[in-house]
């Protein structure tokens, strides 16, 4: 069934009628107030303790549960003593590889119906993350909570008078065995969307699962022009590509003119600060709310709190969280905190045990708590996103902040960027590759502002940058419009949840990227040009 036929189906006509939309919107608004009030009465620590007990009890007869004595575990301390931290690579080697793709009763009861393919941002290797029926319900519950907080904070919300637009991945689901499919998480979510919700969402299933990303983006822009879009969500860089396509084909100056009913832009996957100015200009309306989210293939972790702008941890939907100080990762006995004993201001690696059978699973992200009641946090980066090739100990959050500061200082707007080391001469240096939406008035001033801000943020970097004794000023390569998209396409990682790898401590990706840009004549200009020759 094509898109136009689907729009006029009996279900869409009745459920999506103006009267029914008003009723649905009122129902969600009423539920939102009650949901937010009920959550305010919960004790996050007690909920997390009950969550762990429930997860362990449910999985006690699985192979993993028997291996780790789940039947005897009653407390958080007993769980931490019985179940060591695991990376995905550990889980794959010990439990999943030999039984893939049919995962029956291994780490979670029953057969796992879906495997979510990750983008392999930091290491490049594809991961197959189990997604159980319970996890599908968990994700839905978290998404409903996000909507509830938005509608509670905006009494005039007309979210369900229009359509919710989710810019997801580009691949259809592959059937691997009876009852088992794998693919992009957004494709899984699209297939599992409840029938009554389809008239309230965009795109339709057949377009959501379009495998050709360029064709999909063109059709999404074309068809969404006709829709009363009230919410749009996706990775910031791909949202900007969509927005520019919409402005190009519509002739409008801002997205607020294209979609006058737009209330909220949901973004996640990367730090948003470098994109903030570009979004404000492109959207063209201060009433459109920017809503950060923190979903991943392992589970829906957090969403932006409307009152504070911080990420609100979702703690009552079948995920138990632990938090390990980043500097202790890889040590023999890392300290494992949970909501009962975390502290604010500490950079933690986040660890999850989930209703899809991940146990003490290090997902590779880092966060910092800003408040404990309620639990509010800041996403600070990736455990593998660090830059210390020369002992400078830079982390993702610091470089993201410096990029944003340099942009603000020079009137620039950045679309995408990457940084890594170049090993040349006696020591070497950092090389930044940047694609601008709006270039700075002075490229040297941008480089100086970036360098100075990093010195302010990080004492180790400042010491290594001491004139005459350490790192020289970084190199800066300016990539042409669309260059990062072209590079990602050449790597088979274009669109949807795929994200540009920000930092490369080894320098291999950096060299490959700059070589690709030069070979395809997509270097616009450079400071310290030729540094990788």
Q: What is the CATH number of the domain that holds 362?
A: 3.40.50
Q: Which of 116-125, 249-258, 374-383 has the highest mean pLDDT?
A: 249-258
pLDDT value at position 256? Answer: 98
Is 482 strand, coil or helix? coil
Residues 218, 159 share a domain: yes
pLDDT value at position 52? Answer: 99
Residues 250, 306 share a domain: yes
Please tell me what DSSP assigns to residue 56.
Answer: H
Measured distance CA(327)–CA(218) in Å, rounded? 45
- Among the listed ranges 131-140, 294-303, 488-497, 505-514, which one has the minimum average pLDDT value? 488-497
- At CA 313, angle to CA 310 and CA 318, rounded to 5? 165
Q: Which of 304, 214, 288 has the alpha carbon at shortest distance from 488? A: 214
The dihedral region occupied by 280, where left means phi > 0, alpha psi between -120 and 50, and beta the remainder, is alpha
The count of residues in the chain is 533
Does residue 419 sit within a domain?
A: yes
Q: Give the end of a domain, one of 382, 402, 432.
A: 382
Whether this prediction's pTM lies above 0.85 is answered by: no
Per-residue tokens: 246:
């919409």
pLDDT digits (tens, 9 = 90+) for 421-442: 888 765 678 999 999 999 998 9
State the CB neighbour count (10 A cutoff) for residue 490: 12
Which band of pLDDT confidence, cut at 50, 70 and 90, is reported for residue 529? very low
Does residue 429 sit within a domain?
A: yes
Residues 172, 141 share a domain: yes
Helices (H) and strands (E) in the chain, counts: 19, 21
pLDDT value at position 195? Answer: 86
Q: What is the CATH number of the domain that holds 504?
A: 3.30.300
pLDDT value at position 468? Answer: 52
Does residue 4 sit within a domain?
A: no
Instruction: Judge residue 315's burial from the number of C-beta atoms within 10 Å of its C-beta, 0-12 exposed, 13-18 middle, 19 or more buried.
Output: buried
Residues 350, 425 share a domain: no
Residues 397, 359 share a domain: no
pLDDT value at position 242? Answer: 94
Contact partners, residue 446, CB within 8 Å, separation at least 6: 406, 407, 409, 410, 412, 440, 476
Q: Which of 61-70, 429-438, 493-502 has the highest mean pLDDT?
A: 61-70
Does residue 141 sit within a domain?
A: yes
Does residue 339 sit within a domain?
A: yes
Measured distance CA(319)–CA(48) in Å, rounded? 8
Residues 217, 336 share a domain: yes
| Whether 27 contacts 160, CB under 8 Å | no
pLDDT digits (tens, 9 = 90+) for 185-208: 888 998 898 888 899 999 998 888
Residues 145, 25 share a domain: yes
Measured distance CA(52)–CA(199) in Å, rounded? 37
Range of the domain at 394: 386-527
pLDDT value at position 6? Answer: 44
Per-residue tokens: 374:
């309620």
- Among the listed ranges 116-125, 208-217, 337-346, which one has the minimum average pLDDT value? 116-125
Does residue 490 sit within a domain?
A: yes
Which band of pLDDT confidence, cut at 50, 70 and 90, is reported for residue 3? very low
Measured distance CA(227)–CA(163) in Å, rounded? 7
pLDDT at 303 exceeding the cut of 60: yes
pLDDT value at position 94? Answer: 97
Residues 201, 154 share a domain: yes
pLDDT digits (tens, 9 = 90+) for 27-37: 999 999 999 99
**Average pLDDT for the chain:** 90
Which band of pLDDT confidence, cut at 50, 70 and 90, is reported for residue 45? very high
Mean local confidence (pLDDT), 219-242: 93
Q: What does the radius of gyration of the chain's CA atoms come to, in whole angstroms?
A: 23
Residues 345, 222 share a domain: yes
- Output helix, strand, coil percentages for the chain, rounded to the nearest 5: 40, 25, 35
pLDDT digits (tens, 9 = 90+) for 67-114: 999 999 999 999 999 999 999 999 999 999 999 999 999 999 999 999
Token pair 């996957």: residue:
269
Number of structural domains the chain divides into = 2
Residues 310, 195 share a domain: yes
Does residue 279 sit within a domain?
A: yes
Residues 186, 317 share a domain: yes
pLDDT digits (tens, 9 = 90+) for 467-486: 655 788 899 999 999 999 99
| Whether 28 contacts 159, CB under 8 Å | yes
Which band of pLDDT confidence, cut at 50, 70 and 90, is reported for residue 297? very high
Q: Give the end of a domain, one of 360, 382, 404.
A: 382
pLDDT at 273 exceeding the cut of 90: no
Does residue 155 sit within a domain?
A: yes
- Among the listed ranges 63-67, 294-298, 382-386, which one has the minimum average pLDDT value? 382-386
Measured distance CA(219)–CA(36) in Å, rounded? 37
pLDDT value at position 471? Answer: 81
Residues 447, 431 share a domain: yes
pLDDT at 51 exceeding the cut of 60: yes
């Amino acid at each position: 069934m094509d898109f136009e036929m689907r729009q006029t189906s009996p279900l869409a006509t009745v459920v999506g009628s103006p009267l029914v939309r008003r009723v649905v919107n009122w129902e969600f608004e009423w539920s939102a107030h009650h949901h937010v009030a009920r959550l305010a009465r919960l004790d996050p620590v007690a909920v997390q303790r009950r969550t762990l007990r429930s997860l362990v009890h449910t999985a006690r007869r699985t192979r993993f549960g028997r291996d780790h004595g789940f039947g005897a575990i009653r407390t958080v301390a007993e769980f931490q003593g019985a179940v060591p931290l695991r990376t995905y690579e550990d889980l794959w080697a010990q439990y999943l590889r030999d039984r893939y793709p049919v995962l029956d009763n291994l780490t979670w009861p029953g057969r796992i119906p879906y495997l979510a393919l990750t983008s392999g941002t930091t290491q490049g290797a594809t991961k197959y993350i189990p997604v159980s029926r319970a996890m599908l319900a968990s994700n839905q519950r978290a998404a409903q909570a996000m909507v509830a907080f938005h509608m509670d904070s905006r009494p005039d919300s007309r979210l369900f008078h229009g359509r919710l637009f989710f810019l997801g991945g580009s691949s259809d689901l592959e059937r691997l065995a009876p009852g088992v499919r794998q693919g992009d998480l957004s494709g899984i979510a699209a297939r599992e969307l409840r029938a009554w919700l389809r008239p309230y969402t965009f795109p339709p299933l057949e377009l959501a699962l379009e495998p050709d990303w360029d064709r999909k983006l063109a059709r999404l822009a074309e068809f969404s022009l006709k829709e009363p879009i009230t919410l749009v969500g996706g990775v910031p860089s791909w949202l900007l590509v969509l927005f520019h396509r919409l402005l190009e084909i519509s002739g409008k100056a801002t997205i607020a003119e294209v979609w006058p009913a737009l209330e909220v832009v949901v973004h996640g996957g990367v730090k948003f600060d470098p994109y903030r100015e570009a979004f404000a200009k492109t959207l063209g309306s201060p009433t459109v709310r920017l809503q950060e989210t923190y979903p991943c293939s392992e589970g829906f972790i957090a969403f932006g709190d409307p009152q504070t702008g911080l990420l609100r941890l979702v703690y009552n939907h079948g995920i138990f969280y632990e938090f390990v100080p980043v500097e202790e990762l890889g040590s023999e006995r890392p300290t494992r905190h949970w909501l009962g004993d975390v502290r604010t201001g500490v950079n933690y690696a986040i660890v999850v045990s989930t209703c899809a059978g991940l146990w003490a699973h290090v997902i590779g992200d880092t966060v910092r708590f800003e408040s404990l009641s309620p639990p509010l946090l800041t996403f600070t980066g990736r455990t593998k996103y660090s830059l210390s090739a020369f002992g400078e100990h830079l982390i993702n959050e610091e470089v993201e902040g410096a990029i944003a500061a340099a942009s603000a200082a020079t009137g620039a707007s950045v679309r995408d960027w990457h940084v890594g080391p170049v090993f040349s001469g006696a020591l070497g240096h950092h090389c930044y590759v940047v694609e601008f939406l709006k270039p700075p008035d002075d490229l040297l001033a941008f480089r100086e502002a970036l360098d100075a801000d990093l010195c302010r943020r990080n004492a180790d970097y400042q010491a290594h940058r001491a004139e005459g004794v350490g790192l020289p000023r970084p190199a800066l390569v300016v990539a042409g419009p669309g260059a990062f998209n072209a590079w990602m396409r050449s790597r088979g990682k274009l669109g949807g949840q795929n994200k540009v790898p920000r930092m490369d401590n080894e320098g291999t990706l950096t060299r490959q990227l700059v070589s690709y840009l030069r070979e395809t004549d997509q270097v616009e200009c450079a400071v310290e040009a030729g540094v990788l020759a």
